[in-house]
Structure 1
Amino acid sequence: MKRVWIYQSNRFLEPTEIKRVEEILQAFVAQWTAHGNQLAGSFRIQHNLFLLLMVDEEKAMVTGCSIDKSVHLLKKIEEELGITLFDRLQLAYREPSDGQIRVVSRDTFTTLLKAGQIDENTIVFNNMLTQVDQLDSQWEVPLKESWHAKVFL
């Protein structure tokens, strides 16, 4: 099974920032270990907004310590770029009118919903996924099919 952790930035990254994040993550996954075992780690930056960190657990299992190492690294990236990657109150969705990705606070999301600017069919990003094979079918989904429905509908 391939595990995934999805981290959403509070803003879109610039090309130079993406290059820097790629350098940092490339070096990290090359030496990422769990109890001395090399992890089959990889990463992806999607839509200039999301950092996806992945591990093939058929090769070696992640541990609490190896996850802690990744979190520590991501906090360094936050500090270097002046972004946040752990703010779960920032929500990403696709603007119904043009399909562009928007990032808003939870309060703004609620306001947009009440105003009818977004609705249960608005595409949201479900960053709670844990398996790589869920990305294609369960990451970008209508609000009514995501955890968002329990909170906002």
Structure 2
Amino acid sequence: MKRLWIYQSDRLLTDLECVQVSEILGDFVKQWTAHGNQLLGSFEIRYNLFIFLIVDEEQAMVTGCSVDKSVHLLKKIENELSIQLFDRLKIAYKHQDGNLRVVPSTVFEELVKSGALNEDTIVFNNMLTHADDIDLKWEVPLRDSWHAKVYL
């Protein structure tokens, strides 16, 4: 099983920032360990907004300490780029014009109530924990996401 963590930035990263983050994460996953065992880790940056960290747990299981190491690194990235990666009250969605937007949950709620966003609006399920679910369950219409229970 491939374990997944999804971190969403509070703003789009520039291409240069994505290169910088890729270098930092590339170095990290090469030396990422759990109790001395090398983790088979990887990462991906999507839409200049989302960071996926993935570990193939068939090789070695993730531990609390190894997760702490990744969180520490992401906090360092936050500080270096002046971004927020742990603000769960920001919601990303795909606007009608095709661009991604990130707004506070209160604004998202207002947009749904006003009809500016509807059940067909594409949202992102950053709560996934299995990499195998990314293609089918991550980028979905609002009606098919956890957002529907809260905002529809």
Using the size of structure 1 for normalisation, the TM-score is 0.97
- The answer to which of 45-54 and 99-108 deviates more is 99-108
1:26: which partner in 2? Answer: 26
* Structural mapping, 1:109-128, within 5 Å: 109-128=108-127
2:88: which partner in 1? Answer: 88
1:68: which partner in 2? Answer: 68
Q: CA deviation at 1:142?
A: 1.1
Do residues 138 (structure 1) and 137 (structure 2) align? yes
Q: CA deviation at 1:120?
A: 1.4
Number of matched pairs: 152
Q: CA deviation at 1:99?
A: 2.1
Q: Distance in 2 between matches of 1:130 and 1:17?
A: 25
1:79: which partner in 2? Answer: 79
Give, as a single letter, the amino acid of the residue that structure 2 aligns with 1:122. T
Structure 1 vs Structure 2 CA RMSD: 0.7
Which SS does the other structure have where 2:79 is aligned?
helix
Which SS does the other structure have where 2:128 is aligned?
coil
Show structure 1 runs of 5+ residues with no match.
none
2:59: which partner in 1? Answer: 59
1:50: which partner in 2? Answer: 50
Identity %: 65
Which SS does the other structure have where 2:51 is aligned?
strand
Q: CA deviation at 1:151?
A: 1.2
1:13: which partner in 2? Answer: 13
Give, as a single letter, the amino acid of the residue that structure 2 aligns with 1:17. E
Show structure 2 runs of 5+ residues with no match.
none
Q: Distance in 1 between matches of 2:135 and 2:143?
A: 17
Q: Distance in 1 between matches of 2:111 and 2:90?
A: 14
Q: CA deviation at 1:121?
A: 1.6
Give, as a single letter, the amino acid of the residue that structure 2 aligns with 1:114. K
Using the size of structure 2 for normalisation, the TM-score is 0.98
Deviations along 1:18-38, whole A, 9 cap, x unmatched? 111011101100000000000
Runs of 4+ in 1 over 4 A off after TM superposition: none
Deviations along 1:53-86, whole A, 9 cap, x unmatched? 0000011000011001000000000000000000
Deviations along 1:103-153, whole A, 9 cap, x unmatched? 111011011111100011211000000111100000011111111111112
Do residues 2 (structure 1) and 22 (structure 2) align? no
Give, as a single letter, the amino acid of the residue that structure 1 aligns with 2:118. D
Which SS does the other structure have where 1:13 is aligned?
coil
